[in-house]
Amino acid sequence: DAKTTQPNSMESNEEEPVHLPCNHSTISGTDYIHWYRQLPSQGPEYVIHGLTSNVNNRMASLAIAEDRKSSTLILHRATLRDAAVYYCILSTGAGSYQLTFGKGTKLSVIP
């Protein structure tokens, strides 16, 4: 399975932009890049996903490198509620469509 690599932790000041990186050098042409986040004692929630083009939604933006070997989740203005573990995962093109989560990046937001 294609794997992702993320920093273990990051810090950001409140109301500043945050760029969360993810490397996925073995990504295949049909793999989608998904981002989820998990608050303490809760199940992960969907943030954003993309295939080749950059994507924007109300929560965040996803910037995908041209070679697709890396991507960056961008939170435009971090709030205290954004403090969570962020997972970057690849959705395989295989028939089972399983999603394998890594350890993610723990984002701390400093007031």
101 interacts with other proteins by CB under 8 A: yes
Residues from 15 through 34 that contact other proteins (CB under 8 A): 30-32, 34
What is the Cα–Cα distance from 108 to 110, expressed in whole angstroms?
A: 6
82 interacts with other proteins by CB under 8 A: no
User: Count residues contacting other proteins (CB under 8 A)?
Assistant: 27
Answer for which of 4, 64, 73, 87 binds other proteins (CB under 8 A) is: 87
Burial degree of 22 (CB within 10 A; 0-12, 13-18, 19+): buried
Cβ-based nearer residue to other proteins, 3 or 77: 3
Helix (H, G, I), strand (E, B) or coil at 19: strand
Sheet holding 70-75, edge to edge: 18-23, 70-75, 61-64, 55-56
Cβ-based nearer residue to other proteins, 44 or 70: 44
**Dihedrals phi, psi of 8, to nearest 5 degrees:** -65, -35
99 interacts with other proteins by CB under 8 A: yes
Name the residues that contact other proteins, by CB under 8 A: 30-32, 34, 36, 41-46, 49, 51, 87, 91-93, 95-104
